[in-house]
Structure formats: structure tokens, C-alpha cells
Amino acid sequence: MSQGPVDASQVPRFAGPDTYARLPRLDQVERADVAIVGVPFDSGVSYRPGARFGPAAVRQGSKLIRPYNPALDVSPFADLQVADAGDIACNPFDIDRAIDTIEQAVGGFDAKLVTIGGDHTIALPLLRDVHRKHGPLALLHFDAHLDTWDSYFGAEYTHGTPFRRAVEEGILDAEALSHVGIRGPLYGKADLAEDRRLGFGIVTSADVMRRGPDEVADALRQRIGDRPLYISVDIDALDPAHAPGTGTPEAGGLTSRELLEILRGLSGCNLVGADVVEVAPAYDHAEITSVAAAHVAYDLISLFALGKRT
């Protein structure tokens, strides 16, 4: 039987453990199906820093999460043993060493991971580890930005380059790569051509508004098929009205409802790993961003639970 969150009828939500959703720590359970792991690293950012405090903020924003998810008709903490694995401590002064540390650390987990960042640089070592276990991956990337640029100031490993590196390393299945939520100015039209060359399809935030979350989710499922799927969620996929606490905000983004509904529409996909990144609480207001990110993580855990049924 799974050990779930602390009972809110016995321990007030402003008390109790500071784990995600007040779940048990990994060292308090014999095994875990899904582990929540934080990576407080933001040395790869190109604008506003602060995502190193994201894991703590998302845990704080998760205190009101309850055990039953009515949108997906699943009780993920009962169907799965979910535990909080704490944070991976990595070098804040050396990006290459930090990437190596993250990759080695996540390789030691038997559980599926929902990783909380941290900036988007951390997606590359996470993808490397999941690829070793599952082979070429379908990628669903929610973001305002492409994150397939080649370099920043000569640096090849930053929060704007992880998916280009992943394609170059043969980690991703070029037939099943999608960005969702893309918007805003680019450096030039060539950015889009280069992104297509790498294999990505784009669903803009305007596409989601016009087509609706259900139609978008249907199209994404068709592109993904039965391939092992990794979902990476940069919280700036949301409009700043829904996620002000992030490092590179762009106007015209998704609503939190649209993002959650698209995720819920992916029930039945072969989800093998996920992350939620770029939460920077210094720019947040009333925990708007951290609460949104906590609920994204909750629906990702719920998708893992639904996958166990099939």
C-alpha cells in the first residue's frame, strides 16, 4: 500500500513537511514509482536569474494539492508510491560540471522522475539519462521559446540550447518533436527554418487559442504515437498574467487552464520522464507561478498513474 501525503484533517496545510504535496521523503519509503527531485540550478540563464529557488517555491505552492484528481479520475498518490527525493546539489559556477553532476545523480534513481528546476539547462542531462533507459524519445516541449539555439556568448550549454544538443546527440526521435506555446520575437526568420531542420513542429500560443486544447492534444498524441515520451515544461509557456515569476517572460502566452487541459489530453501516452522548470519566485506574486507549476507537476504524476493502468 502506498504511503501518501500527510492527512490535512490532522495536520494543517501550513504545518507538516516541506516536501512536494507533503508527501513522504524518499528515505521514508521502501521504494518509489515516481520521485520528485529538485535541481536548484540557474547558472545557464540569459536574462533574470532566480530559478535556483524554484524547487523550494514549487514545494511551497503544492501544499493545497489533494489526493484525488477529478479532471483525470485518478488518485495518483494511492495508485503509485510517490516520494520527494530532495534536491540535487550541483556546482553553481561551472555549467559543464553541473550537467555531469545532474546526469550522474538522476542515473541512480529506479523511479520515474518529475524534476523541478532550476533553469532549462537541466533538461539535457535529464534527457540523456532517460534515453539510456528507453532509447530515442518523443519530446513535448512547452515554452515561449524554441530553446534550439546553437550558443549564447560562445557557450554551448545554456537554458536556450538543450534541445539542439539533444538532437545532435541522437537522444530525440526526429519524427516526434513538438514545441507548444511558442510566441514572441526571434533573432530572425532563420531561427524557424533551423528549428524545422532539427525536426520540430510548432504549436504557437495563438494556435492553442484558435484550435482549443482538445484539438491540440489530439494532434500531439498522433505525432507522439506509442513512442517513449518526455515532457518538458518551461513555466514561461504561460502568459505572465498566469506566471509572472519566471526569468524570460513573453506576452500572449497560454493560460494555466489551457496548459493543464493539454496535459490531461495526453492520457494514454507512454510518459517516461518530465520536468517543470524556470520558476523564479523573486518575481512571483502571491505564489501564482509556483502554484501553477505545482499543479503541472501534479497532472504529470497523474499521467504516470494512468499509464500504470494500461
The confidence score (pLDDT) of residue 1 equals 84
Predicted confidence band of residue 310 (pLDDT cuts 50, 70, 90): low
Instruction: Give the domain 20-309 fold.
Output: Arginase; Chain A (3.40.800)
* pLDDT tens readout for residues 150-205: 999 999 999 999 999 999 999 999 999 999 999 999 999 999 999 999 999 999 99
Query: Which residues, including other chains, have CB under 8 Å from residue 238's CB and lie 6 or more apart?
Result: 181, 253, 254, 255, 256, 259, 289, 292
Domain boundaries, given as residue ranges, for the chain: 20-309
* pLDDT tens readout for residues 103-150: 999 999 999 999 999 999 999 999 999 999 999 999 999 999 999 999
CA–CA gap between residue 157 and residue 147 (Å, rounded)? 11
The confidence score (pLDDT) of residue 308 equals 81
Full-prediction pTM beyond 0.75?
A: yes
Q: Does residue 120 have a known ligand-binding role? A: yes
* pLDDT tens readout for residues 260-297: 999 999 999 999 999 999 999 999 989 999 999 999 99
How crowded is the C-beta side of 31, counted as CA atoms within 13 Å? Answer: 6
* pLDDT tens readout for residues 210-261: 999 999 999 999 999 999 999 999 999 999 999 999 999 999 999 999 999 9
Q: Which residue has the cell 524570460?
A: 248
Encode 267-304: b = buried (16+ Cβ within 10 Å), e = exposed: bebebbbbbbbbbbbebbeebbbbbbbbbbbbbbbbbb
How crowded is the C-beta side of 6, counted as CA atoms within 13 Å? Answer: 21
CB 240 within 8 A of CB 251: yes
Q: Residue 38 in 3-state DSSP? A: strand
**Residue 207: Cβ within 10 Å count:** 17
Q: Does residue 179 have a known ligand-binding role? A: no
Predicted confidence band of residue 300 (pLDDT cuts 50, 70, 90): very high
Q: Does residue 145 have a known ligand-binding role? A: yes
* pLDDT tens readout for residues 59-100: 999 999 999 999 999 999 999 999 999 999 999 999 999 999
Q: Does residue 147 have a known ligand-binding role? A: yes
